[in-house]
Amino acid sequence: MAVNTHYRPDIDGLRAIAVLSVILYHYEISGKIFDAGFIGVDVFLVISGFLITRILVLSIPKGRFLLPFYQRRVQRIFPALALTLIATSVMGTFYLLPHEQIQLGKHTLGGSTSIANLFFWQESGYFDSDAASKPLLHLWSLGVEEQFYVVWPIILWLGIRRGIRPITIIGTTFVVSFIYSVTATSSNPTAAFYSPLSRGWQLAVGGAIAVIGLRGTRNFHAVCTWIGLAMIGASFFIYSSNSPWPGTSALLPVVGTALVLFGGLIHTNASRLISTRPMVGIGLISYPLYLWHWPLWSFYNIINGEAPSFFEKVVLVFVSFILAYATYAFIERPTRRSERGGTKALVLIGVMVVVGLLGLRTWKSEGIALRPAGDSASTLPVSINTTTTLALPTSVPLPDIVGIPEVENLTGTAEVVAEQFKYWKYIQNLTCLNRYPNPNAKKYGWWFCMTNQNAPPTVILRGNSFANQLYPGITNNPNFENQVILSLGNCSIERERNVQPVKTCIEQRDFVYQTIVQNPSIKYALVAGLEWNASPQQLNDLRAELNFLMGRGIKPVVIYPHLRPTFGISACMSRPSISATSDCQLTEDRRTNLYSGFATTLDMLNTEYPSIPTFDMNSVFCTSGTCNFLRNGIPMLRDTVPHISQHASDLVGQALAEWSRANLPDLLDR
């Protein structure tokens, strides 16, 4: 039997399943039911491998196929993509802060040049921006497909010219890519997710279905379709966003999609299930629907600083469908018509070049200046009220509230605000890496190693990123200029609450402890990153940490956890076209609740380690009655975790100096 080369509505039905699962996943509409909705991308990749390989296998023997092939790809992909990039850039001009505009410019360049996945791969890490703050993040998958479109025709053409059967070429591609994917998924998950090499096997599986032709009876093809649909459906429930991906886990939805494509080579009752008019209709607009849904979600989160309500999610989905249909009807279909296809392709390429250059210009600039925040929160003084009183449980000792002189005479200008959101630069420096080489650090994903002098350390920051965030404020403060500060490791004291696996954190702890033993110059340890609601495990791990430090003659200082607001800090800033949507304030009872939760830890310290002092950094945020995360219009947080900003770290460093003057004067240089 000949291969079915006619239009197949079941493929549009598959596209509908793929795009709907992605939207449900991104919009968090169905909770844990579609916590693996990202699998829709894998379904798209298999479909693309099938369709493109089928076109190429039929075209290559006829010769002169490359130019028409790329021309059709340009006419298929560029119109909707260019519109999305332009619309997103315009939205960015009106609604994004300078640092967000710079990031969007970079991603616009990546999207226009088919390398978005490589940009996101390079950016990925613990201190990377929150996904919802990247309106073009979803273009990573389009980048993988476009790179496939560029390379795959050439590979097939060269192989077929040398007499190699297409199935052999596809099989070899599958083996090489799958081995890399499985290996990278465990050793370098970021590379596995974004690399085209780790995704090539998924496209190859689709390509294999395109060349094997029809095999079996109509009933056999129907059974394959049913099994394939069941495998795709099961994937949504078996896997979650925490599953290693793609690797072997992706075999279930990939093979399931391949079976549906194979089964549909002969039209059966099974394939009719996904060929209904609503499913086909969604499939036809699936490409622009995929392009539009994420920027809408992202801009909503950026502007409002929080996720939308269920009703607002439904509205966003509805708007996505309206934009997708309009793009399909008035942009995609007219442009795809073959008349003067070469001219249209050249114009589209020219448009994409211009869009990319504009993105490059925005990326390399400082963004468009924002107007200073106009609310009262933006003009709060830096000094802290020293007469604040708190209604605390009797078991919670009242922490010292100190006056904080102005660290710098700064106001919330666009430049100063943008500086707070730039990529955190206090992760590693060469001085530290050379003095304390850790052969296992590369496998951790991120590893803190910072020191301010090429000399034996005197103060070590113990804990995770919430300890590391104190580093610049202390090292930049002249009161500590003769102290050699070391920030080492990324695991918290309580290993079971870490992002890293427990085994990894034990390995890191052993390395840090070995470093401490080898450096008897260390006299003080600032222990930070503790959770406010201590678990029994945290208390036990904290005891072990304190016993080790004190056993080495080191004086520990336990740092209170800082308040973590539910709103996004960007929502506190006035944007080019709208005012701030949050005043960036929390009521004082939030601070009281934090102390109530932290009382268990404090009680343990007071009872078992009465000589160990504690320092509360929340005095930097809180004045009488409120806690505020803007100072003179400058954000005190830098991300959604949230970590404190550079400016807040400087203020905390000054507060620590004032506290030390009264409680631990030997920590000061003067």
Nearest to 297 by CA among 282, 324, 315, 322: 315
- Mean pLDDT of the 80-95 span: 95
Does residue 270 sit within a domain?
A: yes
- Quick one: pLDDT at residue 2? 39
How many helices, marked H, and strands, marked E, lie in the chain? 25, 10
Of the residues 335, 364, 393, the one at which a domain ends: 364
Read off the pLDDT of residues 242-295 as tens digits, 9 standing for 90 and up: 888 899 999 999 999 999 999 998 888 888 999 999 999 999 999 999 999 999
Task: Count how many Cα atoms sit within 13 Å of the Cα of residue 152 in the half-sphere of its side chain.
Answer: 32
Report the alpha-carbon distance of residue 483 to residue 524 in Å, rounded: 10
440 and 380 fall within a common domain: yes
Of the residues 307, 329, 364, the one at which a domain ends: 364
What is the span of the domain harbouring residue 191?
9-364
For the chain, the residue count is 670
Nearest to 108 by CA among 289, 291, 355: 355
Contact 640, 568 (CB under 8 A): yes
Q: Band the pLDDT of 387: cuts 50, 70, 90.
A: very low
425 and 340 fall within a common domain: no
Q: Band the pLDDT of 590: cuts 50, 70, 90.
A: confident
N-terminal to C-terminal alpha carbon distance within the chain: 89
Read off the pLDDT of residues 516-552 as tens digits, 9 standing for 90 and up: 999 999 999 999 999 888 888 889 999 999 999 999 9
Report the alpha-carbon distance of residue 75 to residue 342 in Å, rounded: 9
Q: Which residue has the tokens 């002169």?
A: 64
Residue with more model confidence, 18 or 58? 18
- Quick one: pLDDT at residue 409? 55
Contact 469, 645 (CB under 8 A): no
**Cα maximum dimension of the chain:** 89
CA distances from 604 to 16, 293, 527, 537, 546 (A): 57, 50, 15, 13, 12
359 and 382 fall within a common domain: no
Nearest to 632 by CA among 374, 376, 403, 378: 378
Report the alpha-carbon distance of residue 293 to residue 316 in Å, rounded: 8
| pLDDT over threshold 60, residue 172 | yes
Using a 10 angstrom Cβ sphere, with 0-12 exposed, 13-18 middle and 19 or more buried, the burial of residue 65 is: middle
- Quick one: pLDDT at residue 29? 82
Q: Band the pLDDT of 396: cuts 50, 70, 90.
A: very low
596 and 619 fall within a common domain: yes
CA distances from 51 to 59, 143, 204, 206 (A): 12, 17, 11, 8
Does residue 277 sit within a domain?
A: yes
352 and 472 fall within a common domain: no
535 and 638 fall within a common domain: yes
SS (H, E, C) 257-326: HHHHHHHCCCCCHHHHCCCCHHHHHHHHCHHHHHHHHHHHHHHHHHHHCCCCCHHHHHHHHHHHHHHHHH
| pLDDT over threshold 90, residue 583 | no
- Mean pLDDT of the 41-50 span: 96
Residue 128 DSSP label: S
∠ CA(200), CA(203), CA(206), 5° rounding? 150
Q: Band the pLDDT of 634: cuts 50, 70, 90.
A: confident
- Mean pLDDT of the 193-211 span: 95
210 and 150 fall within a common domain: yes
∠ CA(203), CA(207), CA(208), 5° rounding? 120
Q: Sign of the C-alpha dihedral, residues 346, 351, 357, 360?
A: negative
Q: Which DSSP string corresponds to 509-558?
A: HHHHHHHHHH-TT--EEEE----SS--HHHHHHHHHHHHHHHHTT-EEEE
| pLDDT over threshold 80, residue 479 | yes
Residue 398 neighbours by CB under 8 Å, 6+ apart: 390, 392
Does residue 369 sit within a domain?
A: no
Q: In what order do the strands lie in the sheet with 459-462?
A: 449-451, 485-488, 459-462, 524-527, 555-559, 614-615
Lowest-confidence pick of 34-48, 91-105, 117-131, 209-223 = 117-131
- Mean pLDDT of the 558-578 span: 83
Q: Band the pLDDT of 341: cuts 50, 70, 90.
A: low
Query: What is the tally of structural domains in the chain?
Result: 2
458 and 524 fall within a common domain: yes
Q: Band the pLDDT of 656: cuts 50, 70, 90.
A: very high
Can you say whether residue 427 is alpha, beta or left, with left for phi > 0 and alpha for psi between -120 and 50 degrees? alpha
Does residue 3 sit within a domain?
A: no
Read off the pLDDT of residues 295-309 as tens digits, 9 standing for 90 and up: 999 999 888 877 788
- Quick one: pLDDT at residue 122? 84
Please report, to the nearest 10 degrees, the dihedral formed by the alpha carbons of residues 528, 531, 533, 534 taken in order: -70
- Quick one: pLDDT at residue 579? 79
546 and 654 fall within a common domain: yes
153 and 293 fall within a common domain: yes
- Mean pLDDT of the 466-473 span: 95
Residue with more model confidence, 329 or 339? 329
Does residue 502 sit within a domain?
A: yes
CA distances from 224 to 158, 256, 278, 307, 638 (A): 33, 9, 23, 40, 51
Does residue 371 sit within a domain?
A: no
| pLDDT over threshold 50, residue 382 | no
Nearest to 546 by CA among 536, 534, 560, 558: 558
Beta strands in 333-484 (DSSP E): 449-451, 459-462
- Quick one: pLDDT at residue 193? 92
Of the residues 344, 364, 384, the one at which a domain ends: 364
Q: What CATH number is given to the structural domain containing 547?
A: 3.40.50.1110
Report the alpha-carbon distance of residue 621 to residue 610 in Å, rounded: 27
CA distances from 510 to 428, 448, 505 (A): 19, 15, 9
Does residue 4 sit within a domain?
A: no
- Quick one: pLDDT at residue 367? 58
Does residue 518 sit within a domain?
A: yes
Whole-number average pLDDT of the chain: 86
Lowest-confidence pick of 3-12, 253-262, 411-420 = 411-420
157 and 259 fall within a common domain: yes
304 and 434 fall within a common domain: no
